[in-house]
Amino acid sequence: MTADEILAQLLTDSARADPYPVYRQLRELGPIAPLTKEMAGVSRFAAVATGYDLIDTVLRDVSFYKQATPGTREHPLLSTFDTSMMFTNPPEHTRMRGLFAKTFTPRRLAAMDPIIRTVVDDRLDQMEQAGAGGAVLDYVEQFASQMPSLVMAAFIGIPVEDLDWYRARVRPIDAFMDLDGKTPDALQRADDAAEELRGYYAGLIEQRRRNPQPDLLTALVASVDAGEHQLSEVELISNLIVLFNASFVTTVFLIGSGLPLLLSRPDVTAALPGNPQLASDCFSEMLRCESPVQFLARSAPADIELDGVPLAQGGVVLLLVGAGNRDPNRFADPDTFDPGREQLPSLGFGAGAHYCIGAAVARAELQIALPRLFERFPRLALAGEPVGSHSLFLRGMTSVPVTLN
């Protein structure tokens, strides 16, 4: 089979539930394979990459770039993307990231620990109530979808009472990001959500100017207003939207997908209480096995060859991060969840200039949450089949039924 034929299988329901057999088929064609056909509703790609080393090399090479989206000015969502650090290239990316790198200080991150502990313990209390008497509860609903958004809301400065409203506007944006999500209807829904979020953040920014708070939003606004960083308010809002969406959605999916992996290793869950180093190792291995972000894309800076595959200038390479994280040339027995393996870096948070700026926050959350979860509920067990997100881009669980005892 050709790479085009194999890649088309990703759009099936079976592959959305488990894409890894398709990744293995693609890997048999080499670390990168050319694509010649266009799939309906899918962006045009010149090649697809599955090899860890090749994906890592492309991500670290700043000459490979992110293409600007046509029609940006007419669409609030695309305009938001193209004025944020996640979707731009140096030097614009470097300029915008500098502001956030300055505010994501070790001191500020350390100050999050008590916030994380408070949120985790509150959610565990809620789980205990929901699971009283052996009742089945949804781990995603009660914990995985709540904890990261509450932590990031406190960190950034988003009122807790606004979170349900906010989550509803994240969903259409995530849906548009899927491999086959670029339809006119999906774009319209995402545009509407982006427009509402832009107005929401504009209001929050004005509130912080009048009434500063000890949160990230106040620090960002103060830095921009003082002229310490050359960032327009349009760019500040775009980056806040992308940062919050990415930070909590990916962590939600990582926590949800990670639980079945953890429960497959009772020796690990028994050792987790009071063991933040093991929790950190579990975090790394969960990220490798079930990366929430399954693919990225980069465009060729010139007419070049990658591992023998010719690419024309501007040709887009689909980088299957989820496949690279299970590359047997990089990881022994790659389909096995093993927190004890040598902790080689995965591609789950990207690499190079665009490495996820919120990675340290996600690790801090899991280092606290996992030991406390299994200290509180050592007999936590699956009570049914987990339900997946059905997304090829953001892979995770939307429901994980469990019992506590």
315 and 298 Cβ atoms separated by less than 8 Å: no
pLDDT of residue 229: 81
Q: For the chain, first and last CA: distance in Å? A: 48
* Sequence-distant contacts of 264-273: CB under 8 A, at least 24 apart: 264/337, 265/337, 265/339, 268/339, 269/374, 269/378, 269/380, 270/374, 270/378, 272/370, 272/371, 272/373, 272/374, 272/375, 273/371, 273/372, 273/374, 273/375, 273/378
Range of lowest pLDDT (42-46, 233-237, 290-294, 393-397): 42-46
- Express as a percent the part of the chain with pLDDT over 90: 79
Report helix angle 359-376 to 113-130, nearest 10: 40
- 40 pLDDT band, cuts 50/70/90, is low
**Topology annotation, domain 1-60+294-345:** 3.30.43
Phi, psi dihedral angles at 297 (to 5 degrees): -145, 145
186 and 177 Cβ atoms separated by less than 8 Å: no
What string of DSSP letters covers 76-114? HHHHHHTTSGGG--TTHHHHHHHHHHHHS-HHHHHTTHH
Distance of CA 103 to the CA centre of its chain: 20
Tokens of 341: 């393996």
Tokens of 349: 């948070």
Q: Has domain 61-293+348-403 been given CATH number 1.10.260.40?
A: no
d(CA 289, CA 347): 10
Across 239-254, b (16+ Cβ under 10 Å) vs e yields bbbbbbbbbbbbbbbb
Nearest to 175 by CA among 323, 319, 390, 16: 390
Q: Residue 96 half-sphere exposure, CB side, CA atoms within 13 Å?
A: 27
202 and 237 Cβ atoms separated by less than 8 Å: yes
pLDDT at 69 over 90: no
Range of lowest pLDDT (74-88, 90-104, 373-387): 90-104
pLDDT one-digit tens code per residue, 280-289: 999 999 999 9
Q: Is 137 helix (H, G, I), strand (E, B) or coil?
A: strand
Tokens of 315: 């040709």
Range of lowest pLDDT (188-192, 209-213, 245-249): 245-249
Range of lowest pLDDT (52-56, 90-94, 140-144, 323-327): 90-94
Domain ranges for the chain, please list them. 1-60+294-345, 61-293+348-403
Q: How many CB atoms lie within 10 A of CB 312?
A: 10
pLDDT of residue 70: 67
